[in-house]
Amino acid sequence: MTVRVKICGLTRLEDALAAAEAGADYLGFIHYDRSPRCVDPEAAAEIIAALRRPHPSVRMVAVIVNEDVEKIRVIMQTGDYDYAQFSGKESPEELRRLGGRAYKAIRPTSLEQAVVLADLFGNRSARPALLLDADVAGLYGGTGKRADIALASRLALDWDLMLAGGLNPKNVAEAVRQVRPWGVDVASGVETSPGVKDHDMIKRFIANAKCSAI
Protein backbone atom coordinates (compact mmCIF):
# COMPACT_ATOMS: atom_id res chain seq x y z
CA MET A 1 0.00 0.00 0.00
CA THR A 2 1.28 3.43 -0.96
CA VAL A 3 0.17 6.27 1.29
CA ARG A 4 -0.02 9.69 -0.28
CA VAL A 5 1.00 12.68 1.81
CA LYS A 6 -0.42 16.19 1.62
CA ILE A 7 1.38 19.07 3.31
CA CYS A 8 -1.24 21.75 3.79
CA GLY A 9 -1.38 25.40 4.83
CA LEU A 10 1.68 26.41 2.84
CA THR A 11 2.48 30.10 2.61
CA ARG A 12 6.18 30.20 1.62
CA LEU A 13 8.11 28.92 -1.39
CA GLU A 14 10.93 27.50 0.72
CA ASP A 15 8.47 25.36 2.68
CA ALA A 16 6.71 24.12 -0.44
CA LEU A 17 10.04 23.20 -2.03
CA ALA A 18 11.12 21.37 1.12
CA ALA A 19 7.87 19.40 1.14
CA ALA A 20 8.14 18.46 -2.53
CA GLU A 21 11.80 17.46 -2.18
CA ALA A 22 10.94 15.32 0.85
CA GLY A 23 8.41 13.34 -1.18
CA ALA A 24 5.06 15.05 -0.62
CA ASP A 25 2.46 14.02 -3.17
CA TYR A 26 0.05 16.92 -2.60
CA LEU A 27 0.59 20.52 -1.50
CA GLY A 28 -2.30 22.55 -0.09
CA PHE A 29 -2.81 26.32 -0.14
CA ILE A 30 -5.62 27.80 1.92
CA HIS A 31 -7.80 30.54 0.43
CA TYR A 32 -9.94 31.41 3.43
CA ASP A 33 -9.33 34.80 4.98
CA ARG A 34 -10.14 33.71 8.52
CA SER A 35 -7.39 31.10 8.50
CA PRO A 36 -3.98 32.04 9.93
CA ARG A 37 -2.56 30.10 6.96
CA CYS A 38 -4.48 32.03 4.32
CA VAL A 39 -2.48 32.90 1.21
CA ASP A 40 -3.44 35.22 -1.63
CA PRO A 41 -4.25 33.37 -4.88
CA GLU A 42 -1.64 35.35 -6.81
CA ALA A 43 1.05 34.62 -4.21
CA ALA A 44 0.15 30.93 -4.27
CA ALA A 45 0.32 30.99 -8.07
CA GLU A 46 3.91 32.23 -7.94
CA ILE A 47 4.88 29.43 -5.56
CA ILE A 48 3.16 26.80 -7.70
CA ALA A 49 4.79 28.09 -10.88
CA ALA A 50 8.20 27.70 -9.27
CA LEU A 51 7.40 24.09 -8.35
CA ARG A 52 5.89 22.80 -11.59
CA ARG A 53 9.09 22.25 -13.56
CA PRO A 54 11.25 20.59 -10.87
CA HIS A 55 8.34 18.64 -9.36
CA PRO A 56 5.80 17.92 -12.13
CA SER A 57 4.19 14.97 -10.36
CA VAL A 58 3.21 16.91 -7.21
CA ARG A 59 -0.49 17.79 -7.15
CA MET A 60 -1.56 21.26 -6.07
CA VAL A 61 -4.72 21.74 -3.99
CA ALA A 62 -6.72 24.92 -3.40
CA VAL A 63 -8.41 24.69 0.00
CA ILE A 64 -11.71 26.56 -0.22
CA VAL A 65 -14.34 27.50 2.37
CA ASN A 66 -17.85 28.59 1.37
CA GLU A 67 -16.99 30.22 -1.95
CA ASP A 68 -19.09 30.49 -5.09
CA VAL A 69 -18.17 27.84 -7.66
CA GLU A 70 -17.33 30.44 -10.29
CA LYS A 71 -14.90 32.15 -7.91
CA ILE A 72 -13.37 28.75 -7.19
CA ARG A 73 -12.84 28.23 -10.91
CA VAL A 74 -11.01 31.57 -11.08
CA ILE A 75 -8.81 30.66 -8.10
CA MET A 76 -7.97 27.29 -9.64
CA GLN A 77 -7.12 28.83 -12.99
CA THR A 78 -5.02 31.57 -11.38
CA GLY A 79 -3.00 29.06 -9.38
CA ASP A 80 -2.90 26.29 -11.99
CA TYR A 81 -4.41 23.96 -9.39
CA ASP A 82 -5.08 20.27 -9.91
CA TYR A 83 -7.78 19.98 -7.25
CA ALA A 84 -10.05 22.00 -4.97
CA GLN A 85 -10.71 20.84 -1.44
CA PHE A 86 -14.14 21.99 -0.27
CA SER A 87 -13.81 22.54 3.48
CA GLY A 88 -16.94 24.52 4.31
CA LYS A 89 -20.69 24.05 3.97
CA GLU A 90 -20.70 23.40 0.24
CA SER A 91 -23.43 21.26 -1.28
CA PRO A 92 -23.05 17.99 -3.20
CA GLU A 93 -24.22 19.85 -6.31
CA GLU A 94 -21.41 22.41 -5.97
CA LEU A 95 -18.94 19.55 -5.68
CA ARG A 96 -20.31 17.87 -8.80
CA ARG A 97 -19.96 21.08 -10.80
CA LEU A 98 -16.19 20.69 -10.61
CA GLY A 99 -16.35 17.04 -11.62
CA GLY A 100 -13.25 15.04 -10.74
CA ARG A 101 -11.31 18.14 -9.74
CA ALA A 102 -12.89 18.57 -6.29
CA TYR A 103 -13.28 16.57 -3.12
CA LYS A 104 -14.98 17.30 0.20
CA ALA A 105 -13.59 17.55 3.72
CA ILE A 106 -16.10 16.15 6.21
CA ARG A 107 -16.10 16.39 10.01
CA PRO A 108 -18.66 13.83 11.26
CA THR A 109 -19.52 13.36 14.91
CA SER A 110 -20.86 9.81 14.64
CA LEU A 111 -20.46 6.73 12.47
CA GLU A 112 -23.99 7.13 11.15
CA GLN A 113 -23.31 10.72 10.13
CA ALA A 114 -19.96 9.72 8.60
CA VAL A 115 -21.60 7.14 6.34
CA VAL A 116 -24.33 9.57 5.27
CA LEU A 117 -21.83 12.33 4.48
CA ALA A 118 -19.58 9.95 2.60
CA ASP A 119 -22.49 8.79 0.46
CA LEU A 120 -23.44 12.42 -0.24
CA PHE A 121 -20.00 13.82 -0.94
CA GLY A 122 -17.69 10.96 -1.82
CA ASN A 123 -16.29 11.58 -5.29
CA ARG A 124 -14.79 8.47 -6.87
CA SER A 125 -13.56 10.54 -9.80
CA ALA A 126 -11.26 12.56 -7.53
CA ARG A 127 -8.10 11.57 -5.68
CA PRO A 128 -8.72 11.53 -2.80
CA ALA A 129 -12.43 10.75 -2.93
CA LEU A 130 -12.98 12.24 0.52
CA LEU A 131 -11.10 13.84 3.41
CA LEU A 132 -11.94 13.18 7.05
CA ASP A 133 -11.06 15.80 9.67
CA ALA A 134 -11.83 16.35 13.34
CA ASP A 135 -15.02 18.17 14.28
CA VAL A 136 -14.43 21.45 16.13
CA ALA A 137 -17.46 23.74 16.40
CA GLY A 138 -17.21 26.83 14.21
CA LEU A 139 -13.86 25.92 12.67
CA TYR A 140 -12.98 24.46 9.28
CA GLY A 141 -9.80 22.48 9.94
CA GLY A 142 -6.25 23.25 11.00
CA THR A 143 -7.17 22.85 14.67
CA GLY A 144 -4.65 20.16 15.62
CA LYS A 145 -7.41 18.02 17.12
CA ARG A 146 -7.27 14.30 16.36
CA ALA A 147 -9.90 12.84 14.06
CA ASP A 148 -11.93 9.84 15.21
CA ILE A 149 -9.87 6.78 14.23
CA ALA A 150 -12.85 4.42 14.35
CA LEU A 151 -14.82 6.58 11.91
CA ALA A 152 -11.81 6.93 9.66
CA SER A 153 -11.15 3.18 9.63
CA ARG A 154 -14.75 2.49 8.62
CA LEU A 155 -14.76 5.00 5.76
CA ALA A 156 -11.33 3.88 4.54
CA LEU A 157 -12.82 0.47 3.75
CA ASP A 158 -15.04 1.98 1.06
CA TRP A 159 -13.38 5.19 -0.04
CA ASP A 160 -9.99 6.59 -1.11
CA LEU A 161 -9.85 8.47 2.17
CA MET A 162 -7.40 11.17 3.15
CA LEU A 163 -7.02 11.32 6.93
CA ALA A 164 -6.46 14.71 8.58
CA GLY A 165 -6.69 16.08 12.09
CA GLY A 166 -3.98 16.24 14.70
CA LEU A 167 -1.36 14.26 12.81
CA ASN A 168 2.35 14.85 13.39
CA PRO A 169 5.65 13.00 12.86
CA LYS A 170 5.24 11.06 16.11
CA ASN A 171 1.72 9.70 15.60
CA VAL A 172 1.27 9.42 11.83
CA ALA A 173 2.78 5.92 11.51
CA GLU A 174 0.36 4.46 14.05
CA ALA A 175 -2.56 6.30 12.45
CA VAL A 176 -1.68 4.81 9.06
CA ARG A 177 -1.42 1.31 10.53
CA GLN A 178 -4.79 1.65 12.25
CA VAL A 179 -6.80 3.33 9.49
CA ARG A 180 -5.04 2.20 6.29
CA PRO A 181 -6.03 5.45 4.57
CA TRP A 182 -5.40 6.34 0.95
CA GLY A 183 -3.53 9.41 2.18
CA VAL A 184 -2.73 11.64 5.15
CA ASP A 185 -2.88 15.41 5.51
CA VAL A 186 -0.96 17.66 7.89
CA ALA A 187 -0.73 21.39 8.54
CA SER A 188 -0.16 22.41 12.18
CA GLY A 189 1.65 19.16 12.97
CA VAL A 190 4.75 20.22 11.02
CA GLU A 191 4.83 23.92 11.95
CA THR A 192 6.77 26.27 14.18
CA SER A 193 3.95 28.83 13.82
CA PRO A 194 0.83 29.00 11.63
CA GLY A 195 1.91 28.86 8.00
CA VAL A 196 5.62 28.45 8.80
CA LYS A 197 6.80 24.87 8.35
CA ASP A 198 9.64 23.04 10.07
CA HIS A 199 11.56 21.28 7.29
CA ASP A 200 12.90 18.51 9.48
CA MET A 201 9.40 17.77 10.78
CA ILE A 202 8.13 17.62 7.19
CA LYS A 203 10.79 15.07 6.29
CA ARG A 204 10.07 12.93 9.34
CA PHE A 205 6.31 13.11 8.80
CA ILE A 206 6.56 11.97 5.18
CA ALA A 207 9.08 9.23 5.94
CA ASN A 208 7.07 7.89 8.86
CA ALA A 209 3.80 7.93 6.91
CA LYS A 210 5.22 6.14 3.89
CA CYS A 211 7.35 3.61 5.78
CA SER A 212 4.44 2.58 7.98
CA ALA A 213 2.38 1.65 4.93
CA ILE A 214 4.85 -0.90 3.57
Q: What is the SS3 assignment for the chain?
A: CCCEEEECCCCCHHHHHHHHHCCCCEEEEEECCCCCCECCHHHHHHHHHHHHCCCCCCEEEEEECCCCHHHHHHHHHHHCCCEEEECCCCCHHHHHCCHHHEEEEECCCCHHHHHHHHHHHCCCCCCCCEEECCCCCCCCCCCCCCCCHHHHHHHHCCCCEEECCCCCCCCHHHHHHHHCCCEEEECHHHEEECCEECHHHHHHHHHHHHHHCC
CA 95 to chain centre: 16
Distant-in-sequence, close-in-space partners of 119: CB < 8 Å, separation ≥ 6: none
User: What residues are labeled active site?
Assistant: 8, 133
How far apart are the C-alpha atoms of 209 and 122, rounded to whole Å?
Answer: 23
CB atoms within 10 A of CB 153: 16
